[in-house]
């Protein structure tokens, strides 16, 4: 199997298995208990918090462990606002976790506006600036667009927000950036930053939220007061420690991996353009993460092509896996794709283990699938004509 849907999830790194086994079967104790073994687990979590914090350029006390990137987004948007009214600005191409939280804030009485993006999914800076004023209390703009890989200049956005809306909180969904590009939350100027473990070869069910020191978060889950009272629940020690081990093992190679994946993405783009007519490239390769590449066909529906490719041993996506079960036109509309291409979007997303041979296999399978679909469509069209003549007779 050729797996090219790493923006949806990644294979568990082998380093995780030791932590999962150790903290599920040997050191399985509740870190909130008072006996020695439990306190050792509490110290282990403290060490993991420090590792995740260091990877973000943050302090340990600024890291809140969550069950996912989506939960981190929910906490950021729903628990950070102290003002009971005001304007909230959210990128139009955001992940559904942020988009749907914005809709919830609208129900709660906030004036929510969606900031337009360009055709590649990058936030339109001029339109963002036009929307910023003293009434803005929260801005959420993703770091890397999960649909196209578009990279937003968060430092520039942060500077703009501070000058136009000084009381606004700035959140960014960093799920597709973390572990792929170097992230320093202090340099980026964000107040809140969401990350996820399963996008970087850690287990599903673990994520984290960076929350700048001094920023108050309301309680999201009531209970025993874990995670600074924001998210109560017995900590998922096995997943936390596996996440920690992945970061310690892999994150020092971020720059080298970035360069290698950039070459692979360029190879994919050239192969697509040299092999196929009538494709629309949705990724700006000059200003995006190389890990995510989006294009669209006007001769086949994306979901149909996904299944055709799967039958040939190649796995890709149509876009965010969180939207895969729903018919949604929000992202194509945000990108300005309104013609036949809107139904034919495909997303290829890489990990460090992918090679040019994987791309070659994908190109070959895509070509074969298109030929088969075109033959099927011609046959179906011919049969429709025969049925029409029979009905007329």
Contact by Cβ (8 Å): 117, 123? yes
DSSP conformational letter for 221:
B
- Per this entry, what is the length of the chain? 393
Q: C-alpha dihedral over 256, 261, 264, 268, to 10 degrees?
A: -160
Contact by Cβ (8 Å): 323, 381? no
Give the Cα separation of 40 and 153 in Å (integer).
41
Positive or negative, the CA dihedral 216, 221, 226, 229 is positive
Contact by Cβ (8 Å): 193, 73? no
Please list the active-site residues. 322
Sheet holding 207-211, edge to edge: 63-66, 207-211, 192-196, 169-173, 136-140, 87-91, 111-115
**Residue matched to tokens 């979590």:** 45
Q: Name 194's Cβ contacts closer than 8 Å, sequence gap at least 6.
A: 69, 72, 73, 76, 171, 172, 173, 174, 175, 207, 208, 209, 210
Residue 176 sits at the vertex; the CA angle it makes with 257 and 146, to the nearest 5 degrees, is 125
């Amino acid at each position: 199997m050729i797996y090219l849907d790493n923006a949806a999830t990644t294979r568990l790194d082998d380093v995780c298995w030791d932590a999962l086994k150790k903290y599920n079967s040997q050191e399985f104790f509740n870190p909130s208990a008072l006996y020695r073994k439990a306190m050792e687990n509490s110290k282990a979590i403290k060490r993991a918090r420090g590792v995740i914090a260091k990877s973000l350029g943050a302090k340990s006390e600024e890291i809140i462990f969550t069950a996912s990137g989506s939960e981190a987004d929910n906490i950021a948007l729903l628990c950070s606002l102290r003002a009971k009214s005001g304007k909230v600005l959210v990128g139009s191409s955001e992940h559904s976790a942020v988009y749907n939280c914005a809709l919830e804030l609208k129900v709660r009485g906030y004036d929510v506006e969606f900031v337009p993006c360009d055709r590649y999914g990058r936030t339109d800076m001029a339109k963002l600036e036009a929307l910023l004023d003293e009434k803005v209390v929260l801005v959420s703009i993703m770091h890397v667009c999960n649909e196209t890989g578009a990279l937003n200049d968060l430092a520039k956005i942060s500077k703009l927000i501070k000058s136009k809306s000084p009381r606004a909180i700035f959140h960014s969904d960093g799920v597709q950036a973390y572990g792929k590009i170097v992230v320093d939350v202090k340099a980026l100027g964000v107040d809140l930053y969401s990350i996820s473990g399963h996008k970087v070869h850690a287990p599903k069910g673990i994520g984290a939220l960076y929350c700048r020191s001094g920023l108050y978060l309301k309680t999201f889950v009531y209970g025993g007061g874990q995670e600074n009272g924001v998210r109560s629940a017995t900590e998922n020690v096995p997943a936390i420690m596996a996440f920690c081990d992945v970061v310690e093992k892999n994150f020092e190679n971020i720059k080298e991996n970035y360069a290698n994946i950039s070459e692979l993405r360029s190879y994919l783009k050239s192969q697509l353009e040299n092999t196929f007519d009538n494709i629309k490239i949705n990724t700006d390769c000059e200003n995006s993460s190389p890990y995510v590449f989006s294009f669209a066909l006007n001769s086949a529906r994306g979901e149909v092509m996904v299944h055709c490719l799967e039958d040939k041993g190649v796995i890709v996506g149509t876009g965010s896996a969180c939207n895969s079960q729903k018919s949604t036109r929000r992202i194509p509309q945000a990108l300005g794709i309104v013609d036949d291409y809107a139904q034919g979007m495909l997303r290829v997303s890489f990990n460090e283990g992918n090679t040019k041979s994987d791309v070659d296999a994908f190109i070959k399978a895509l070509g074969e699938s298109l030929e088969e679909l075109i033959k099927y469509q011609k046959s179906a069209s011919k049969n429709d004509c025969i049925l029409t003549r029979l009905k007329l007779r």
